Amino acid sequence: MPTKARVYISLVSAAGMTVTACSFLYPPWSHDPVRYTVYFALALFAAALKLQLPGLTGTMSIGFVFVLFGVSELTLPETMLMASAGALVQCFWRAKSRPRAVQVIFSVSAVAISLMLAYQCCHLVRAQWHTNTVAIALAIATSVYFASNSLLVSGVLALVKGEPLRAVWQQCYLFAFPYYLLGGVIAAVMAAAGRESGWKLPLLLLPVMGLAFLFYRMLLARLSLRAVSVPAQQLRRAS
């Protein structure tokens, strides 16, 4: 691994661990432990629903929906614990090969940094605009979280491969933005429904999350088949 990549990984990991530790100095935990326990368990389950990204060894899960929901409706410590635990599940659950410690630390750190940025931006806008609208909050949170997490991961890939950051990001993550937007919409509906009718009603949206996951899994499978079939056709023509 190039020296620049090692330095980059070390800096991101140090920043991520610092952010994680500082997040637990924020306001106290929720007074509804039952609600949090249910959402925490569902977040871990969603993190296990992984999609293999083309051209990458990493994965993408639908667990980020609960992270976005937490940005709007939970405290920072609660959301950070849920996001970090989900990142660990995503790293270890049915992994093709056992991840190294440096990979796990970097993945969790990237999630922690992205969450902190999304949380701070979301609540800063709420304070400045004096609004508590769910749609505005989660539109900002989704955009910031996706941009930060995808750029952090693309950064290390660009350094390892020796390719421009923009090219790596566009190739690997640009197609995933609609997936994040859909997840942001689901999180916004969950938050709005929870405010109106209690925290149990948003659980009815879980099948929608499942359908979104299945749709993107089929889409990625088709893209993988096309990537394999095109070189095969070129080889046949050449022969």
Cα–Cα separations (whole angstroms), residue 28 to 31, 75, 94: 9, 7, 34
CA-closest candidate to residue 157, choices 100, 112, 98, 106:
106
Structure-block tokens of residue 158:
């660009």
Q: Average pLDDT for residues 123-127, to the nearest whole number? A: 84
CB 138 within 8 A of CB 71: yes
With cut-offs at 50, 70 and 90, classify the pLDDT of residue 232. Answer: very low
Indicate the average pLDDT of the chain: 83
Measured distance CA(180)–CA(173) in Å, rounded: 10
DSSP for 69-131, written as a single string: HHHHHS-HHHHHHHHHHHHHHHHHTT-SSPPPHHHHHHHHHHHHHHHHHHHHHHHHHHHHHT-
Banded pLDDT at 145 (limits 50, 70, 90): very high
Q: Is the pLDDT of residue 160 over 60?
A: yes
- Domain 3-238 matching CATH 3.40.1410.10: the answer reads no
Q: Which among 1, 168, 21 has a CA at the least distance from the CA of 100? A: 1
Give mean pLDDT, residues 87-97. 87
CA–CA dist 59, 51 (Å, integer)? 5
Instruction: Quote the CA–CA distance of 42 and 206 in Å, as a whole number.
Output: 9
Note if the pTM is more than 0.75: yes
Q: pLDDT tens digit string along 167-212?
A: 888 877 777 788 888 888 888 888 888 888 877 777 777 787 777 7
Mean pLDDT calculated for residue range 157-169:
88
Question: Is the pLDDT assigned to residue 27 strictly greater than 70?
Answer: yes
Question: How confident is the model over 89-94, as a mean pLDDT?
Answer: 89
pLDDT > 90? residue 148:
yes
Per DSSP, the three-state class of 26 is: coil
- Asked if residue 118 has pLDDT above 90, the reply is yes
Q: List, in order, residues 6 or more apart from 117 with CB less than 8 Å away.
A: 144, 145, 148
